[in-house]
Structure 1
């Protein structure tokens, strides 16, 4: 005669087997819709969404499109002005030196005090008995002969120079870029070599080191160089990680990825780094424009040099940042959507 504990164990086994058969039958009926049972409304909605998801398999490519646009805009920021006629209007700063030297040297007066010492005034001091108009013509002639151009456009990797041509059909003169400097990755605009080249071209035995540049001016130029190098590094990082984002999104829709959520998370990380690089570069460029304009207004305005900010370049770089951020949002939405679908699927399988 079986003992009590054996009967209890056998009863538990039978109950577990019966429960398993009921669960398997309910699962089969609710998922496959056999006779006598109707599909769960939640399961029907899930299947409809799954069918729509199969037809929207191209959605993971949307972040790749945003990354591609941001990549192109970042390249444009780096390559703008790399040669004459290529995106000349997208400069960081444009220096107008067409009026340099005018009203710089004052005509002689009865004042016995010594005139203010400047580099150009030291060259024409023997002519102090001439009228003001003669002085203006002489200083302008010196600037032209020395090779000082009418304008200098500062870009990310080089600078361009040119002249102003008066158009009979327009009241404002037209800019004509005549040449550009050699393009380098770690470029930073420095007026000292340009001025030294002008002296050498005019056969003037004068070194820019003898002009006693203000210490604050030299420090600010070095500060602007550092900002420019950081901005170039930001654009380079954005370009590299935009490439990685495009490759990852393309791999995501390929049959080799098997829809892994790790691939989506990896694309999200790449897109985030690219967006951060563009944001940092845009902030540095904005700071460089503001600081450079203030520097030219302070030290260049007294000698006839004016500066114009590159609002076109500013819109270009911040537009690239917004597009990169849209790519981050798109990848994040895809990641959350996939996680939600996996949670629903696990719920139905229980």
Structure 2
């Protein structure tokens, strides 16, 4: 039994489990919600459109005729609770604004679905927990279309408005479309990485009982390397699209109260999977080299034994011919 095969097999098992977690994180409310790829904080979406109440005795004014009714209703529902307490206006708006216009306080993107919910105890509390309301059905190569989601919720909300009423920038969804294209490739690469890691586990079991087989070592190295490359490329894509998407959303969305955050925990998972499969590939290279060296040593010993035996036979024959 080749005990040294246990280490790369353990690495493959870890990578396989991590890959499955990255695929199914967030597949139901509360399951690894913190391990999202991207999250949007929409608790203050539209705050810039609330009429100015900082001047004593001034009356709220509308910025455009198309959203005049929106201003009136929003000013009545939100600012009525904060009038005379200007120091707490930001906290109150963050807690009440999303509810008043009919949306959730946050939306998180996972590889195969979207979850949404509210912050507990409130949106402005440092380290607030994510209270999950619902998650969409899991779909392979899921596309994150936050524009459609928000529009639908706004239209059925208390004020019956849409994104155009709150000056939603179209550049946000354009940036997310690039994210979706990258995540499509990521899904395929994760599937390859997980499948090859699973095959590497089975092949490692064979290596445990086929001691000294260089062919098995080479095959395991090939599987580990393929899994490593798949996870590596997927991790690079996730890292790049996360950075690009958060930059675009924050660039165009901060003014209207939308903030994007990268899923740091998800990045940790994906790069750990890369690391463990790299270790597995290196381990099989070492196994292959050790096996080759041992076979070379065995061949040398056998050759030396045969040569010595022939020399002894030759010496005996020569002595007999000389009459000794």
Equivalent residue, structure 2, for 1:92: 37
Aligned-residue Cα RMSD (Å) equals 3.5
Distance in 2, matches of 1:216 and 1:298, equals: 9
2:147 corresponds to 1:202: no
* Aligned match for 1:241, one of 179, 190, 196: 196
Equivalent residue, structure 2, for 1:59: 4
2:285 corresponds to 1:332: yes
Displacement of 1:324 in angstroms is 0.9
Equivalent residue, structure 2, for 1:319: 272
Distance in 2, matches of 1:61 and 1:346, equals: 27
Q: What pairs up with 1:208-247 in 2 under 5 angstroms?
A: 216-247=171-202
Partners of 2:182 and 2:238 within 8 A in 1: yes
Bigger radius of gyration among the two? 1
Superimposed CA distance per residue, residues 160-213 of structure 1 (whole angstroms, 9 cap, x where no aligned partner) = 11112228xx86543211221111111121112202321342387777699997
Change (3 A) 1:102 1:218: closer
Equivalent residue, structure 2, for 1:297: 250
Distance in 1, matches of 2:155 and 2:188, equals: 34
* Aligned match for 2:228, one of 266, 271, 275: 275
> 5+ residue gaps in structure 1?
1-55
Equivalent residue, structure 2, for 1:263: 216
Partners of 2:45 and 2:97 within 8 A in 1: no
Displacement of 1:303 in angstroms is 0.8
TM-score between the two structures when normalised by the length of structure 1: 0.71
Moved more, 158-167 or 99-108: 99-108
> 5+ residue gaps in structure 2?
56-60, 83-88, 304-324
Distance in 2, matches of 1:232 and 1:129, equals: 44
Change (3 A) 1:346 1:296: same
Distance in 2, matches of 1:284 and 1:151, equals: 24
Displacement of 1:224 in angstroms is 0.9
Distance in 1, matches of 2:16 and 2:145, equals: 29
Equivalent residue, structure 2, for 1:7: none
Distance in 2, matches of 1:143 and 1:313, equals: 27
Change (3 A) 1:234 1:298: same
TM-score between the two structures when normalised by the length of structure 2: 0.76
Distance in 2, matches of 1:305 and 1:217, equals: 10
Partners of 1:91 and 1:312 within 8 A in 2: yes
Equivalent residue, structure 2, for 1:70: 15
Partners of 1:102 and 1:140 within 8 A in 2: no
Superimposed CA distance per residue, residues 226-270 of structure 1 (whole angstroms, 9 cap, x where no aligned partner) = 11111111111110000111111111223xx57432221111100
